[in-house]
Chains A and B, each alone.
Chain A
Amino acid sequence: MAKMVEVKIKRQASTKDAPRWETFNLPYKDGGNVIALLMEIRRNPVTSDGKPTTAVVWDCSCLEEVCGACSMIINGQVRQSCSALVDALTHPITLEPLSKFPVIKDLMVDRIALFENLKKVKAWIPIDGTYPAGPGPRMPERDRSWAYDLSRCMSCGCCMEACPKFNDCSSFMGAAIIAQVRLFNTHPTGEMNKEERLDALMGPGGVAGCSNAQNCEKVCPKKLPLVKSIAEVNRAINIHALKRLLFN
Chain B
Amino acid sequence: MKHGEFYLKRLHSLSGFFLLLFLCFHFFVNSYATVGNGAFNTAASFMHNLPHLTFVEILILGVPIAFHGIYGLVIWYRGKGNLTRYGYFRNWMFFLQNISGWVLLVFLVLHVWGTRIASAIAGETIDFQWMVNHFANPWFLVITALGILAASFHAANGLWGFLINAGISTGKKAQQVLGWACGLVFGVGFLGFVLTLVSFVR
Question: When the two chains form their complex, are residues A207 and B6 in contact, meaning their CB atoms are under 8 A apart?
Answer: yes
In the complex, how many residue pairs between chain A and chain B have their CB atoms under 8 Å apart?
108
User: Does B139 have its Cβ within 8 Å of any Cβ on chain A?
Assistant: no
User: Does A238 have its Cβ within 8 Å of any Cβ on chain B?
Assistant: yes
Question: When the two chains form their complex, are residues A228 and B10 in contact, meaning their CB atoms are under 8 A apart?
Answer: no
**Using a Cβ–Cβ cut-off of 8 Å, how many residues does chain B contribute to the interface with A?**
36
**What's the nearest-Cβ distance from chain A to residue B67, in Å?**
15
User: Considering the chains assembled together, what is the distance between the CA atoms of A57 and B2 in angstroms?
Assistant: 40
**What's the nearest-Cβ distance from chain A to residue B173, in Å?**
10
Main secondary structure of the interface of A (DSSP, over half): helix
User: Considering the chains assembled together, what is the distance between the CA atoms of A86 and B178 in angstroms?
Assistant: 39
Question: When the two chains form their complex, are residues B171 and A228 in contact, meaning their CB atoms are under 8 A apart?
Answer: yes
Closest to A238 in B: B167
Q: Which B residues lie within 8 Å of A169 (CB)?
A: 77-80
Question: When the two chains form their complex, are residues A211 and B167 in contact, meaning their CB atoms are under 8 A apart?
Answer: no
**What's the nearest-Cβ distance from chain B to residue A96, in Å?**
10
Question: When the two chains form their complex, are residues B88 and A234 in contact, meaning their CB atoms are under 8 A apart?
Answer: no
Q: Which B residues lie within 8 Å of A235 (CB)?
A: 166-168, 170
User: Considering the chains assembled together, what is the distance between the CA atoms of A212 and B179 in angstroms?
Assistant: 12
**What's the nearest-Cβ distance from chain A to residue B33, in Å?**
35
Interface residue from A77, A209, A227 paired with B86 (Cβ < 8 Å)? A77
User: Which residues of chain A in 136-183 are interfacial with respect to chain B, using CB atoms and an 8 Å cutoff?
Assistant: 162, 164-165, 167, 169-170, 172
Question: When the two chains form their complex, are residues A165 and B78 in contact, meaning their CB atoms are under 8 A apart?
Answer: yes
Interface residues of A (CB under 8 A from B): 76-77, 162, 164-165, 167, 169-170, 172, 202-204, 206-215, 218-219, 225, 227-228, 230-232, 234-239, 241
